[in-house]
Amino acid sequence: MLTKRKIYVTAIVAMAVLYIGIGLTGCATKRHIDEVKAEVRDVKRQNEETQDLLARMDSTIAAGAEANGRLRADVSVTVNNLQQQIDMLLENYNDLLAQIRQLNLQPTVTHVVRSSPGSQEQTAVTVGPDTAGQVSTPVRPAIDCGQVYDESFILVRRGEYEKAIEGFRRFLEHCEKHESAENAHYWIGESYYSMEKYADAITEFEYLIENYKGSVNASRAYYKLARSQQEMGRTDDARRTFQKLIDEYPETLEASQARERLKDL
């Protein structure tokens, strides 16, 4: 493609050739002058057309680059949003599965009854094999364990991680034997992880794995433990933890994620 400078050079050369021809013949006729003017006009026209073409091309290239940039940005945002939704769905699924399994493991059902009409004292009656109708000593729990757990879990979902940790700690202080105790430890670790306090998250996940053998939360705890180690630059530890997750819980969703992570380590 001709640039403006090349076109001007072409015009000058053309004019020079004509002037040389005039000089050799010894006379400058009106025809010669008209030819030179016509050549100059033609070169100017070509220059204008070329400049217009270059301007349109520059505009097209710039618009294409801007469009591609917007497209890449939109795709990136969409992918990130989808991944966040997948992670959230996975956590909800695993938490629900954990609660269902815990319910299936309970051998007895405990009802709360009042000892007499109008009495404020509550007594726990345990109903189960060989225990029907037996009344235990009065129980006065310091807190409503189920309510404190539920409120703390809601705080996690709201992203209020500090308050959630405080709530779960209070729950564990008074309800350490509760069926959701291991879940509380997991969500404390998850809250630390979300706040990027990876050392604290590692401590909590390791405690859960060590003290709740065969926990329904084990695969999730192993995965987040490895991710915390990875975020802290402990690549070898993360690789070993991912591999242990795959070996011990090969059929879980977390094991599938671990296999993908190992490809990048």
pLDDT tens for each residue of 7-63: 444 545 445 544 444 444 445 566 656 666 666 666 667 767 777 777 777 777 766
Q: Are 241 and 229 in contact, with CB atoms under 8 Å apart?
A: yes
pLDDT score at 168? 96
Last residue of a domain, one of 76, 99, 121: 76
Strand order in the sheet with 135-138: 109-114, 122-127, 135-138
Q: For the full predicted model, state whether its pTM sits above 0.95.
A: no
* CA 77 – CA 82 distance, rounded (Å): 9
Is 89 within the bounds of a domain? no
Closest alpha carbon to 168 in 151, 158, 179: 151
Judgement on whether residues 49 and 117 belong to the same structural domain of the protein = no
Please write the tens of the pLDDT for every residue from 72-91: 666 555 555 566 666 666 66
Is 233 within the bounds of a domain? yes
Q: Domain limits at 42?
A: 4-76
Judgement on whether residues 178 and 67 belong to the same structural domain of the protein = no
Last residue of a domain, one of 121, 140, 159: 140
Closest alpha carbon to 262 in 237, 234, 243: 243
* CA 146 – CA 158 distance, rounded (Å): 19
